[in-house]
């Protein structure tokens, strides 16, 4: 009897649980063979085929929802298309679960020992559709976007054998181990689903592999793909600090938890930018000029040490509440202030210790971070601990009032908290111990093991106490759960520095503004001005806010003159010796309106200033380890 599809869907929804209530502790029988054709770069389409061992009866296949390293339910289901299922050589129906839309229910017919599925992953062709993962010259394979897997099994007990076809003569980098390459068809060695998902691949027409630890037993490579061959040209002087970064990480963490490590590094204006951690690799994407305009893009060089740190912090040592059985079980993010916050700290420290970023410029970046969080009004209602939920709540969507709403502040405010902890350990121990010792003790265990070792809040507190006895639980909870009113800047003072505001930005921060084509007036008028006069980054209850300004507005003129950043800077400076208000002509929609600012305190830009008579612990922190 033929059942209408609506009735069939209802019956199947009853027959198959929408959410797997139990996960088998047995291995999934057989090996899933995955074949991805990534040759259609012109239309940016990945074509996927899978052969999945199966027994007759009910089978649920899942499309990954909780993406590796992304902390939220950001699976790219909207780019998934064309699903067809076959058994015994015939096409069979599938039904999507009406509650869990990432689940697809199948009735495997008698006599079948497997099902074959095919579908496409449609890489975004425009920025509004999402991050571009395929261009004419570069492609990135994130296996969660091209994989269906059976429900009811631990992802670490599902064996996968991945195959990839790349465009003719393209080269690739990945943490996966290659079993065979025949022409442009690559077969990888079988491994478990979790490890495969955690091992993406970058391939490109223009490719270069740079050895970052020559002669080492455990290799580390920088696999570079780019829009053109000239972007691959790195000088020995540019490679040297990348190699130093690897050695400084080894001295800090005193361990390695990978068989080999591969930086996947794209230099492109077309391929989507990214910074995402994996246990034995990382995805990194920056705009053109990383090597060819070396002096202009120094701040970008914090990306690689941040992602490298994650091999220890976040991947090897992993929060216990992120120990989930598969990629459709919700994560809990309560310890992201360790996972990401301490990584933000070590990323900045390693960048300075290795020479990727000059120590004085690291101070400038720290000043910008301190000023930003010292002026976050949102801490009145939202503690930094709650921002660990933001990848789930907001998923990095644009915000109208970030200063009030807050976002993923556990990254950079977390950096300030760990600076606070580091300097406190140094002070209490008479500068005999530091957070370096915590890193060795916490991340340096089980050298050579690449299986995740999970931790709790209590574990972090216990290991801090082992380094320096103190009430670390109260120290951390007061900073994570408190409401300020200001940022946790005690670490700066203990390091011998204080946050001040001057009328001129540091040369480094000025160069950052020029590159971003923005102008920062947040600490004077209470907003920034982006490209083409767009008003943005408002301070809640700042002067701009109180005047009635909001996003979606364009600054057209200052005191009757067409807006340029230097015109507004000059007007703010002139107002110091004048009683006249600063007049801004602003357009929002079809409305033109003049706003007056009775402000006479001049320009204000953050920088760090030494506290005389105190030890310079920040200099000690940023010094290379010996």
Q: What pLDDT does 17 receive?
A: 45
Average pLDDT over residues 176-180: 98
Beta bridge mates, 543: none
| 3-61: pLDDT as tens digits | 344 444 444 444 444 444 589 999 999 999 999 999 999 999 999 999 999 999 999 99
Q: What is the pLDDT of residue 22?
A: 83
Report long-range pairs for 284-291 (Cβ below 8 Å, ≥24 apart): 288/226, 288/227, 288/231, 289/231, 290/231, 291/231, 291/232, 291/233, 291/234, 291/235, 291/238, 291/267
CA 351 to chain centre: 17
How are the residues of the chain apportioned to helix, strand and coil, as percentages rounded to the nearest 5? 35, 25, 40
Inter-residue contact 262 to 281 (CB < 8 Å): yes
Secondary structure (DSSP) of 507-552: HHHHHHHHHHT-EEETTTTSEEE-GGGBEE-PPTTSHHHHHT--SS
Residue keyed to tokens 């951390």: 476
Give percent of the chain above pLDDT 70.
Answer: 97
pLDDT tens, 312-338? Answer: 999 999 999 999 999 999 999 999 999
CA distance 618 to 484: 23
The pLDDT of residue 68 is 79
Q: Is 566 exposed, middle or buried (0-12, 13-18, 19+ CB in 10 A)?
A: exposed
Contact 530, 543 (CB under 8 A): no
Model pTM score = 0.95
Q: Which band of pLDDT confidence, cut at 50, 70 and 90, is reported for residue 507?
A: very high
Confidence at residue 67, expressed as pLDDT on a 0 to 100 scale? 87
Mode of pairing for the β-strands spanning 220-226 and 261-267: parallel
Task: For the chain, give the mean pLDDT.
Answer: 95
Tens digits of residue pLDDT in 492-504: 999 999 999 999 9
What is the widest separation between alpha-carbon atoms in the chain?
A: 89
Do 501 and 438 form a contact (C-beta atoms < 8 A)? no
State pLDDT tens for residues 192-241. 999 999 999 999 999 999 999 999 999 999 999 999 999 999 999 999 99
d(CA 239, CA 211): 9
């Amino acid at each position: 009897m033929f059942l209408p599809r609506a009735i069939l869907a209802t019956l199947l929804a009853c027959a198959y649980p929408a959410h797997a209530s139990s996960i088998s502790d047995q291995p999934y029988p057989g090996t899933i063979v995955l074949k991805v054709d990534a040759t259609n770069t012109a239309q940016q389409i990945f074509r996927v085929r899978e052969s999945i061992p199966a027994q007759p009866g009910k089978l649920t296949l899942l499309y990954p929802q909780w993406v590796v390293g992304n902390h939220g339910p950001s699976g790219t289901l909207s780019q998934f298309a064309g699903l067809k299922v076959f058994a015994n050589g015939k096409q069979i129906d599938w039904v999507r679960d009406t509650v869990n839309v990432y689940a697809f229910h199948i009735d495997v017919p008698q006599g079948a020992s497997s099902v074959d599925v095919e579908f496409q992953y449609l890489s975004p062709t425009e920025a509004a559709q999402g991050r571009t993962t395929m261009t004419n010259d570069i492609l990135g394979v994130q296996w969660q976007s091209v994989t269906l897997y059976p429900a009811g099994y631990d992802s670490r007990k599902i064996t996968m054998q991945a195959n990839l076809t790349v465009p003719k003569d393209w080269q690739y980098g990945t943490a996966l181990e290659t079993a065979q390459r025949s022409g442009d068809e690559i077969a990888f060695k079988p491994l478990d689903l979790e490890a495969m998902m955690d091992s993406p691949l970058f391939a490109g027409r223009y490719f270069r592999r740079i050895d970052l630890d020559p002669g080492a037993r455990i290799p580390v490579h920088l696999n570079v793909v780019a829009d053109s061959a000239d972007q691959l040209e790195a000088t020995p002087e540019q490679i040297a600090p990348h190699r130093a970064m690897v050695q400084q990480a080894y001295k800090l963490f005193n361990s390695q938890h990978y068989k080999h490590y591969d930086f996947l590094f794209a230099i492109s204006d077309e391929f989507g930018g990214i910074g995402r951690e994996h246990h034995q690799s990382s995805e990194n994407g920056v705009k053109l000029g990383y090597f060819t305009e070396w002096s202009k893009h120094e701040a970008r060089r914090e990306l690689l040490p941040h992602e490298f740190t994650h091999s220890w912090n976040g991947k090897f040592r992993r929060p216990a509440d992120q120990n989930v059985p598969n990629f459709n079980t919700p994560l809990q993010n309560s310890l992201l202030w360790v996972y990401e916050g301490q990584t933000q700290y070590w990323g900045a420290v390693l960048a300075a210790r290795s020479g990727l970023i000059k120590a004085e410029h690291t101070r400038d970046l720290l000043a910008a971070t301190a000023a930003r969080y010292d002026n976050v009004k949102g801490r009145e209602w939202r503690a930094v601990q709650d921002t660990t939920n933001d990848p789930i709540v907001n998923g990095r969507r644009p915000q109208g009032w970030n200063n009030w709403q807050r976002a993923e502040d556990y990254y950079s405010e977390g950096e300030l908290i760990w600076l606070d902890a580091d300097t406190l350990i140094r002070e209490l121990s008479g500068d005999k111990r530091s957070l370096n010792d915590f890193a060795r003790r916490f991340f340096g265990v089980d050298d050579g093991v690449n299986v995740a070792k999970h931790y709790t809040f209590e574990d972090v507190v216990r290991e801090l106490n082992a380094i320096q006895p103190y009430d670390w639980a109260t120290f951390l909870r007061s900073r994570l759960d408190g409401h300020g009113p200001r940022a946790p800047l005690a670490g700066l003072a203990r390091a011998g520095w204080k946050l001040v505001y001057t009328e001129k930005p540091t040369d480094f921060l000025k160069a950052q503004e020029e590159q971003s084509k923005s102008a920062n007036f947040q600490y004077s008028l209470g907003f920034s001005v982006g490209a083409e006069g767009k008003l943005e980054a408002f301070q809640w209850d700042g002067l701009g806010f109180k005047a009635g300004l909001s996003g979606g507005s364009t600054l057209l003129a200052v005191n009757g003159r067409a807006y340029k950043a230097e015109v507004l800077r000059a007007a703010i400076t002139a107002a110091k010796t004048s009683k006249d208000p600063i007049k801004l002509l602003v357009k929002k929609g079809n409305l033109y309106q003049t706003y007056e600012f009775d402000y006479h305190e001049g320009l204000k830009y953050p920088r760090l200033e030494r506290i005389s008579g105190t030890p310079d612990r920040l200099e000690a922190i940023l010094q290379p380890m010996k």
